[in-house]
Amino acid sequence: MVTDQQTPETTSLESRVEHTHPWSRYVAMGDSFTEGIGDPEATSPGGHRGWADRLAEELSRTHPDFAYANLAIRGRLLGQILAEQLEPALALKPDLISISAGGNDLIRPGSDPDALAEQLDVAVGRMADAGATVLLFNGPDIRDTPVLGMIRGRVAIYNENIRTIAARHDAVVADMWSLRELTDAQMWADDRLHFSPLGHHTIATMALNALNVPHTLEPFSPSPMPPRPWRAARAEDLVWAREFLVPWVLRRVRHQSSGDGISAKRPTPGPVFESGMPPGAGV
């Protein structure tokens, strides 16, 4: 019998996710990307959802005792992420760890993608030695992104290093560089620095596919943005520069971070949903 919460379509989707993965405790490490900035959700811890929450929701569907912690804090550099989050993450004894780090370093003048990769390599080795599956994110292709497009070469070098690290430690790469959908403006938040809810959804889908986990997420097929008149496009650029770019530059000059005073939104592992079960489960 089909209830109000369960349709033939959802039943078919849920049938795909039975016995899908071996993990029971997932810890996410990183910066604003993993914290979920750009994907506001009042009912989520910290007020943001993001790709990591969406991934954990899917992983929890067939594991009643599945636990998820998210230690990511916006604005953190790679060294800060490793210094502040690595030991707490390992102490939680996860069997799945994701880390996306280095993006905030790469946007700074004079950053060295090879030196960053050396730090990351040591940390991933420790995660792998602890017995966890490691999910590594490379950077997206920012060729057409205002301002950030200037560091595309550094991102590409760092990405190749990440592939080498993954091969060395048998880690899984979530390949954002090859995710062509991210070139669609609808995938990005208004600040053009973080991903929109649709972007986070798309990245979560890609990460689940990288982990070879069947899931209930359906790919969106957004229609392309209509061409904008030149004057309208330039007006939007001015608003963006005033509201997002200038404050970001000032924080860099003042050695400030958007994450100053912010704590992790999920510091300890727990059920993904308050009741311990996803919506519609058990009906």
Element (H, E) at 21: none
The per-residue pLDDT for 19 is 57
Question: Encoding tokens for residue 20?
Answer: 């899908």
The per-residue pLDDT for 199 is 95
Question: Encoding tokens for residue 102?
Answer: 């280095």
Kindly give, in sequence order, each residue whose CB lies less than 8 Å from that of residue 1, ignoring residues fewer than 6 positions away.
none
The per-residue pLDDT for 4 is 43
The per-residue pLDDT for 239 is 59
| Residue 245 per-residue DSSP state | I
- Chain CA centroid to CA 169, Å: 21
280: left (phi over 0), alpha (psi -120 to 50) or beta: left
Q: Phi/psi of residue 27, each to 5°? A: -125, 130
Residues in the chain: 283
36: three-class secondary structure by DSSP: coil
CA distance 87 to 29: 11
CA distance 183 to 199: 10
Q: What's this model's pTM, rounded to 2 decimal places?
A: 0.75
pLDDT tens-digit profile, the chain (283 residues): 334 444 444 444 454 545 579 999 999 999 999 999 999 988 888 899 999 999 999 999 888 899 999 999 999 999 999 999 999 999 999 999 999 999 999 999 999 999 999 999 999 999 999 999 999 999 999 887 766 778 999 999 999 999 999 999 999 999 999 999 999 889 999 888 899 999 999 999 999 999 999 998 988 733 232 354 555 555 555 655 666 666 666 666 666 665 566 778 778 888 887 655 555 454 3
The per-residue pLDDT for 258 is 59
The per-residue pLDDT for 137 is 98
One-letter amino acid of 115: A
Domains, the chain, ordered by start: 8-221+231-270 (3.40.50.1110)
The per-residue pLDDT for 144 is 78
